[in-house]
Chains A and B, each alone.
Chain A
Amino acid sequence: MARKKSKMICPKCGDEMNHHADKLVDAVTPEDLKHVNPTLGGVIEEMHHCPGCGAVESRRAE
Chain B
Amino acid sequence: MTNRPLNIPVILGTTRKGRMSAHAARFMVGQIEKRDGVKTELIDISKLPMPVDDAGEGIKDPTFSEKMAMADALVIVTPEYNHSFPGLLKHILDSCLKEYIHKAAGIVGVSAGPFGGVRAIQDFLPVIRELGLVNIFWDVNFGNVNKVFDASGKLLDEAFVARADKFLNELVWMAKTLRYGRDNIALDS
Q: Are A21 and B2 in contact (CB under 8 A)?
A: no
Given the contacts A47-B102, A56-B69, A23 and B187 also touching, CB distance less than 8 Å: no
When each residue 38-57 of chain A gets 1 if its CB lies under 8 Å from chain B and 0 otherwise, what string results? 00000001010101111111
* Cα A10 to Cα B98 with chains together (Å): 14
Instruction: List the 10 closest pairs (A to B, CB-CB), nearest first.
Output: A49-B182, A51-B183, A58-B98, A47-B101, A56-B69, A20-B182, A21-B101, A56-B98, A19-B187, A54-B70
Chain B contact residues, CB within 8 Å of chain A: 2, 4, 7, 56, 69-70, 72, 97-99, 101-102, 132, 181-188
Q: Are A55 and B69 in contact (CB under 8 A)?
A: yes
* Cα A39 to Cα B70 with chains together (Å): 33
Chain A contact residues, CB within 8 Å of chain B: 3, 18-23, 25, 28, 45, 47, 49, 51-58
In the complex formed, the residue of B with least CB distance to A48 is B98
Q: Are A19 and B98 in contact (CB under 8 A)?
A: no
Q: Are B132 and A21 in contact (CB under 8 A)?
A: yes
Please, could you name 12 A-B residue pairs with CB atoms under 8 Å apart, sorted by A? A19-B187, A21-B132, A22-B187, A47-B98, A49-B183, A51-B184, A52-B2, A53-B4, A54-B7, A54-B69, A56-B69, A56-B99
